[in-house]
Amino acid sequence: MIERLTQFWEWFDNRDIDKHLMSWAVFFVTCYLIYWTTEFVWAHHEKPGLDIGAIVAALMLPWTPVQAAVIAWYFRARS
């Protein structure tokens, strides 16, 4: 059993599947955040633009370093 798990992990690790899955997960979350932001803006069109912009910035700014870190990790693994 342990030998099979070791073989699977070597196969998994040699193909960088963890890095691919993480990059796709970050891409999915980014798409979801953009979708949510668009829906929020459309639903609250009566709010002033500065308020909407502050809410969107509060949502997207913390996510940007996560994207940068995962993309850097992905490309470091590829080279």
Q: What pLDDT is stored for residue 69 in this prediction?
A: 94
Say if residue 1's pLDDT is above 80: yes
Q: Given a cut of 80, is residue 78 above it in pLDDT?
A: no
Q: What residues contact residue 66 under an 8 Å CB cut-off, 6+ apart?
A: 26
pLDDT tens digit sequence for 12-63? 888 888 888 999 999 999 999 999 999 999 999 999 999 999 999 999 999 9
Could you state, in order of their start, the residue ranges of all structural domains in the chain? 16-78
Q: Distance between CA atoms of 31 and 76, rounded to whole angstroms? A: 23
* Confidence at residue 79, expressed as pLDDT on a 0 to 100 scale: 72
Q: How much is the average pLDDT of 3-18?
A: 87
